[in-house]
Amino acid sequence: MNGVHDMGGMDGFGKVEPEPNEPMFHAHWEERVLAMVRAMGAAGAYNIDTSRFYRETLPPDVYLSSSYYRKWFLGLEEMLIAKGYLTREDVAAGHAVRPAKALKHGKFDLANVERVMVRGKFDRPAPAPPRFKIGDRVRAKNIHPATHTRLPRYVRGHVGVVELNHGCHVFPDSAAIERGENPQWLYTVVFEGRELWGPDGDPTTKVSIDAFEPYLDPV
Amino acid sequence: MSHDHHHDHDHSELSETELRVRALETILTEKGYVEPAALDAIIQAYETKIGPHNGARVVAKAWTDPAFKKALLEDGSKAIGTLGHVSRVGDHLVVVENTPQRHNMVVCTLCSCYPWEMLGLPPVWYKAAPYRSRAVKDPRGVLADFDVTLPKDMEIRVWDSTAETRFLVLPMRPAGTEGWSEEQLAELVTRDSMIGTGFPRTPGAPS
């Protein structure tokens, strides 16, 4: 979706402001949000792509004015309601007033903690040979899906070169809307700065994205 | 029930978000979805097991062991997997090397993808709009915000983390560190030098 989360190349957000000796969390509730998001995902309530999609679908003004973990919280609450694990009545009461829905992997307890700290595997057996090889020139498609995609707007329509092949991976565009993993070849595609930003672009800059095969056309 | 023992507030008014977060944890617990002690354990694991010390050890080893460096650049996950003492890493870590000709910088324009096993949880600036919007269009301007200046003709390569691959920058080894041990070198490796928004410390500079 063409949301405000797709920020690459936007102007007007000001300077980057690193915080010296930044703490891991700025409030206690941030820790709880992180832990709940990880726990409910590990329990099988949603996959990582769905959770990203729910944050992206927050209203643009809310997205831009909320802190990182507030976005995580708002996305989590909406997603759990949409998936039937939570009801608006529960939220209004501040307690569980409706029955629970069974989780695919059961209750998240202490035995599951170690699992959360290991990054998931996303590579899958390839359903077909790769369409592109290293060095091929490719054009990022000019597509504007209304649902989740990992093809940022700033590369759409532009020509780059395939630099790496990462194998076949879960396709976020499908997984986010629960249409299965639909594995696709994943490539690092590199673009010249001036190809992306025009004659005013920095000629010493190159930018790469990791692009799933359905995002690319041969040139 | 939510964890009241964690809440030592020096102010009486809880924020709206904080109240809502507490209520959500109460509901998830009452529904039998999560065990609060397991949430505590997740937080503790994030606070103790991950962090830039992991990445720093990998970088220092690459600086001193050419065979490891070669393996690391070929397959980051596999090479790091051979180091028993470093936190486990996902299967899709790509290590990119800074050279006198090329500087690498990592961003996630769409959200906050970051090699947290190697670097810890990302800092706020990495997740915020100014960095995410400008890193791909004006990387030299962003580096200036970090007081980093590169030679005008040096190539800057920006890696936008748009999939489940993760990128770690292997910075250049500082001059004047000949003969240093891995442990000494690791002390010089900063988080930002592994994102590409900074350099390692130089010998003798305050840490």
pLDDT digits (tens, 9 = 90+) for B90-140: 779 999 999 999 999 999 999 999 999 999 999 999 999 999 999 999 999
Kindly tell me if the per-residue pLDDT of A31 is higher than 50. Answer: yes
Amino acid A194: pLDDT = 97
Reduced to 3 states (helix: H, G, I; strand: E, B; else coil), residue B168 is strand
Q: Find, among B105, B134, B108, B141, the residue nearest to A13 by Cα.
A: B134
**Residue B9 in this model has a pLDDT that exceeds 70:** no
Longest Cα–Cα distance in chain B? 60
Q: How far apart are CA A54 and CA B36, in angstroms?
A: 24
> Is residue B2 pLDDT above 60, yes or no?
no
Place of tokens 């939510």: B2
pLDDT band at B87 (very low <50, low <70, confident <90, very high): low
Average pLDDT, chain B: 91
pLDDT of residue B10: 46
Set of chain A residues whose Cβ sits within 8 Å of the Cβ of B27? 86, 90-91, 94-96
Tell which of A6, A15, A29 to mutate to test the B interface (max B CBs under 10 Å): A29
- Kindly list the residues from chain B whose CB atom is less than 8 angstroms away from the CB atom of residue A16: 125, 128, 130-131, 134, 142, 145-146
* Minimal C-alpha gap between B151 and chain A (Å): 10
CB pair distance less than 8 Å for B124 and A19:
yes
A-chain residues near B164 (CB < 8 A)? 48, 120, 122, 169-170
Q: What is the DSSP letter of A199?
A: G
Q: Is the pLDDT of residue B177 over 60?
A: yes
Residue type at A59 in one-letter notation: P
Please check the confidence at residue A51 and state whether its pLDDT lies above 80: yes
- Set of chain A residues whose Cβ sits within 8 Å of the Cβ of B22: 29, 32
B165 → closest Cβ in A18, A39, A166: A166
Nearest Cα of chain B lies from the Cα of A141 at a distance, in angstroms, of 15
Residue B109: CB atoms within 10 Å? 28
Q: Judge residue B157's burial from the number of C-beta atoms within 10 Å of its C-beta, 0-12 exposed, 13-18 middle, 19 or more buried.
A: buried
Per-residue model confidence (pLDDT) at position A33: 98
The whole-model pTM stands at: 0.95
Cα separation, A143 vs A137, in Å, equals 18
For the four alpha carbons of B7, A39, A166 and B68, in that order, the dihedral sign comes to positive
Q: At what angle do helices B16-30 and B36-48 cross, to 10 degrees?
A: 120
Put simply, the answer to whether B156 touches A202 (Cβ < 8 Å) is yes
Flag whether residue A7 sits within 8 Å of chain B, measured between CB atoms: yes
Q: What is the pLDDT of residues B56-82, one digit of tens each?
A: 999 999 999 999 999 999 999 999 999
User: Which chain A residue's Cα is nearest to B121?
Assistant: A24
Task: Tell me the C-alpha to C-alpha distance, in Å, between residue A149 and each of A53, A121, B27.
Answer: 9, 19, 32
Interchain CB distance below 8 Å, A150 and B158: no
Please indicate if any CB of chain B lies within 8 Å of the CB of A165: no
Which of A16, A28, A212 is closest, CB to CB, to B142?
A: A16
- Give the mean pLDDT of A131-153: 98
pLDDT at residue B5, rounded to an integer: 46
Mean pLDDT along residues A139-155: 98
Q: Which residues, other chains included, contact B118 with Cβ-Cβ below 8 Å and sequence gap of 6+? A: B50, B52, B54, B55, B58, B80, B87, B89, B93, B166, B168, B194
Examine the pLDDT at B8 and tell me if it is beyond 50.
no
Q: What is the mean pLDDT of residues B178-203?
A: 97
The model's pLDDT over B15-25, given as tens digits with 9 standing for 90+, comes to: 999 999 999 99
pLDDT at res. B38: 98
Summarised one tens digit per residue, pLDDT across range A79-124 is 999 999 999 999 999 999 999 999 999 999 999 998 888 888 899 9
The verdict on a CB contact (< 8 Å) between A188 and B165 is yes
Q: How confident is the model at residue B160 (pLDDT cuts 50, 70, 90)?
A: very high
Residue B204: is its pLDDT beyond 50? Answer: yes
The residues of B assigned a catalytic role are 108, 111-113
